[in-house]
Amino acid sequence: MDILLDTIMGGIAGYMWPLTRISSMFMVMAVFGATTTPTRVRLLLSLTVTAAIAPVLPPMPTIELFSLTAVFVTFQQIIIGVSMGFASILLMQTFVLTGQIIGMQTSLGFASMVDPSSGQQTPVVSNFFLLLTTMIFLAVDGHLVLIRMVVASFETIPVSTTGLSLTSYRLFSEFVGYMFGAALTMSLSAIVALLTINLSFGVMTRASPQLNIFSIGFPVTMVSGLFILWLTLTPIMAHFGEVWRETQLLLCDVLLLQCSVDGGLNL
């Protein structure tokens, strides 16, 4: 009877801990972790992926499920999964921040709508960049890359009481700084162009004080902002490819995976 109970508990552990790591990633990651995605859909995806990969995963540790150690192991799996999903969120927020900077500079920031990923009010320009980045993320199979990484992570970071190292948390904090730098780089051309337009209005005001610069400058700035926004979309794929490569390299360093220079996963 004891042998049968140990076999049942081992079978449950073989699915429970992988499900914890995978479901944590799906609950947080971009696109699938948005508030517009039903929780049942995310749970169904997690169960499907877990059922498909569980038979080929390394053996789970022989830890009693109803113990304090099992709770700690489960907590470690949640942290690993949330970290992977959080990396994809940082990828998306890079372009959301770009849209906010451009929106403030072009006077288009006053128009706002609900962000489908967070449920908060954000400028329309940011939502436009978010939707565009989401389509690109799905087009380049970014969600499939994350699934491959979470499967490979069971080899490099097996299920145990030890999870991510302190170096991994430092890498995430450094990537946040990179996110702000990348957003500023993408919006720098728009900032310089609009600064030139504002300087020209300043010269006009100095040369002809009787002109009502507020009634003239606002519509001109908005039209120029739309034109600049259109020009900003031209190199969007190159910017996304660069940020996506850095995101993959971050996950490779955090999960101790072997990746190529371009961020590809070597399996």
DSSP H or E stretch at residue 121 = strand 121-123
The total number of structural domains in the chain stands at 1
Quick check: is 107 in a domain?
yes
208-244 per-position pLDDT tens digit: 776 666 667 777 777 888 888 888 888 899 999 999 9
Tokens of 83: 């970290």
How far apart are the C-alpha atoms of 8 and 73, rounded to whole Å?
19
Quick check: is 264 in a domain?
no
Could you tell me the end-to-end alpha-carbon distance of the chain, in angstroms, rounded to an integer? 41
123-136 per-position pLDDT tens digit: 788 888 988 999 99
Quick check: is 67 in a domain?
yes
Q: Quick check: 94 pLDDT over 90?
A: yes
Quick check: is 267 in a domain?
no
Quick check: is 245 in a domain?
yes
User: What's the pTM value of the predicted model, to 2 decimals?
Assistant: 0.87
Quick check: is 214 in a domain?
yes
Range of the domain at 129: 2-255
Give the per-residue pLDDT at 77: 94
Quick check: is 246 in a domain?
yes
Q: Which of 142-146, 237-241, 257-261 has the lowest mean pLDDT?
A: 257-261
Quick check: is 260 in a domain?
no
Q: Which of 28-32, 121-125, 197-201, 262-266 has the lowest mean pLDDT?
A: 262-266
